[in-house]
């Protein structure tokens, strides 16, 4: 346990479309102090979007990752472990197969959260950071199966939506050549532009116009963290350095074009880019770049807080296992 007075050490395991992530943190006074965090890519959403059925192999890999992470969290002093699942799980026709597999492997129940809850938790996690609570923010959380947009301040949400737009979803819809090249990137950008204007703009733009440009536009989660590490040329997970990274719109565009110009082997060799994510990073990066460009934002910051921080702050969940 940390030295924080009255802190409770909790853990949350986040089952996403592309990876399983765990956060162990000391919770006290409305804040979370991270103790341990890691992830495993299990590609739960692989082959999902044609049939809306999760495949047996990624279900098994996901269940084993949850079991491994929850056991490690307990050895690190977590008194409770909460498991939440997002886009692929909530959309799957055979969701019960995943929930049952995780419960058998880990002994833990799974909370499959709605897109609205996922967006709200992402925003709450980000605004728990010191200095951000009173600022008007636009939070973007690009996952494997969905992207959440949340606009507002900590005490006043103006816009909150989850959209069926994710990196794994796009990777399966637009298979990339090796190397992919400018033509494929142009085609994807065109599709993304049309999606954002048709699906996101009608709700978001009036809110942006009513309150002015957000003070910060922040990307949450693994994709922006990896892009920051690539920009820094570092494979070391340095939280302060990552969260200090700000991409100007031109810099982000150039980084996306660089990634799309490289063969898979070249991307795998980039410092800061986990080799197993060298394929899907193309699509997560393109989503962020298109949002910044279509809506005319000048830059994109990075936050490592988000859904998992909020899940810990939220307290015991319906499926949480607690240990004395």
* Bridge partner residues of 220 (DSSP): 303
Omega before 88 cis (within 30°)?
no
Residues 133 and 93 in one domain: no
Residue 180 has pLDDT above 70, yes or no: yes
What's the structural domain count of the chain?
Answer: 2
Residue 220 has pLDDT above 50, yes or no: yes
Q: Tell me: the pLDDT tens digits for 11-48?
A: 999 999 999 999 999 999 889 999 999 999 999 999 99
Residues 240 and 102 in one domain: no
Q: Of 55, 81, 114, which one is at a domain's C-terminal end?
A: 114
Q: Tell me: the pLDDT tens digits for 68-101?
A: 999 999 999 999 999 999 999 999 999 999 999 9
Query: How many other C-beta atoms lie within 10 A of the C-beta of residue 320?
Result: 21
Closest residue by Cα to residue 113 from 9, 13, 10: 13
Q: Is residue 216 part of a domain?
A: yes
Of the pLDDT bands very low, low, confident and very high (cuts 50, 70, 90), residue 130 is confident
Residue 318 has pLDDT above 50, yes or no: no
Lookup result for tokens 């994510």: 277
Residues 71 and 185 in one domain: no
Q: Is 131 helix (H, G, I), strand (E, B) or coil?
A: coil
Lookup: tokens for 263: 């063969």
**Average pLDDT over all residues of the chain:** 93
Range of the domain at 41: 8-114
| Residue 25, domain CATH | 3.30.420.40
301 vs 218: CA distance, rounded Å: 5
Q: Is 1 helix (H, G, I), strand (E, B) or coil?
A: coil
Q: Is residue 122 part of a domain?
A: no
Residues 103 and 171 in one domain: no
pLDDT above 70: percentage of residues in the chain: 96
Residues 171 and 109 in one domain: no
Does residue 117 contact residue 84 with C-beta atoms inside 8 Å? no
Secondary structure tally for the chain: helices H, strands E: 13, 12
Q: What is the pLDDT of residue 322?
A: 47
Q: What is the pLDDT of residue 212?
A: 77
Residue 148 has pLDDT above 90, yes or no: yes
Residue 275 has pLDDT above 50, yes or no: yes
* Bridge partner residues of 85 (DSSP): 15, 112
Q: What is the pLDDT of residue 323?
A: 46
Average pLDDT, integer, range 180-193: 96
């Amino acid at each position: 346990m940390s030295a924080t007075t009255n802190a409770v050490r909790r853990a949350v395991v986040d089952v996403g479309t592309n990876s399983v992530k765990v956060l162990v943190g000391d919770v006290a006074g409305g804040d979370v102090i991270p103790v341990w965090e890691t992830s495993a890519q299990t590609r739960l959403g692989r082959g999902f979007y044609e049939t809306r059925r999760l495949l047996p192999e990624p279900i098994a890999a996901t269940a084993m990752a949850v079991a491994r992470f929850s056991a490690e969290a307990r050895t690190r002093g977590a008194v409770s472990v909460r498991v939440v699942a997002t886009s692929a799980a909530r959309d799957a026709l055979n969701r019960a197969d995943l929930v049952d597999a995780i419960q058998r492997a880990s002994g833990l129940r799974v909370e499959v959260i709605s897109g609205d809850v996922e967006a709200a938790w992402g925003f709450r996690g980000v605004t728990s950071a010191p200095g951000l609570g009173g600022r008007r923010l636009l939070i973007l959380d690009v996952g494997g199966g969905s992207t959440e947009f949340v606009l507002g301040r900590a005490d006043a949400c103006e816009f909150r939506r989850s959209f069926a737009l994710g990196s794994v979803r796009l990777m399966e819809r637009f298979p990339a050549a090796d190397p992919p090249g400018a033509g494929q990137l142009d085609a994807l950008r065109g599709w993304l532009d049309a999606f954002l204007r048709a699906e996101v703009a009608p709700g978001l733009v009036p809110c942006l116009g009513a309150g002015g440009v957000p003070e910060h536009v922040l990307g949450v989660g693994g994709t922006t963290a990896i892009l920051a590490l690539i920009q820094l040329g570092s494979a070391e997970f340095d939280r302060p350095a990552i969260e200090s990274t700000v991409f100007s719109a031109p810099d982000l565009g150039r980084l996306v074009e660089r990634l799309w110009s490289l063969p898979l082997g070249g991307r795998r060799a980039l410092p800061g880019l986990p080799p197993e994510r060298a394929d899907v990073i193309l699509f997560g990066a393109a989503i962020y770049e298109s949002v910044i460009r279509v809506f005319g934002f000048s830059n994109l910051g990075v936050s490592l807080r988000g859904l998992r921080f909020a899940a810990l702050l939220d307290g015991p969940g319906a499926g949480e296992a607690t240990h004395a």
